[in-house]
Amino acid sequence: MFQANPDKPRSHLQVLQGFLLGVVASLGCLFLTIFLAGNFGSRRQWIYPALNAVALILVGIVALRHVRESSYALGIVIALALALVVDAACAVTFLR
């Protein structure tokens, strides 16, 4: 599904740099979520992981469109997937 072109090998350094960029993007999504949910005045704690998941998925879709052409996009997708797993774990703890 996401196989790279065999003539063009992926650079591990670019994947690592994309991963770091994905970490920055996931932190940006987190701060945006805190800002938006705080302005809505919602007292429900489950709204934070839900909005963060939506933001991570939207950024992930944009990066996923370019994963075949760029090693950076692959690193971003990996970082966002890990952030989404952590976000799901936080959502489960909020629901308990």
Mean pLDDT for back-to-back runs of 10 residues, the chain (96 residues): 62 93 94 85 77 93 90 93 93 82
Q: What pLDDT is stored for residue 37 in this prediction?
A: 82
Q: What pLDDT is stored for residue 34 in this prediction?
A: 87
Matching residue, tokens 């760029």: 70
CB-count burial class (<10 Å; 0-12, 13-18, 19+) for 90: middle
Q: What pLDDT is stored for residue 44 in this prediction?
A: 74
- Domains of the chain, by residue range, sit at 12-95
CA distance 63 to 67: 6
Q: What pLDDT is stored for residue 7 in this prediction?
A: 60
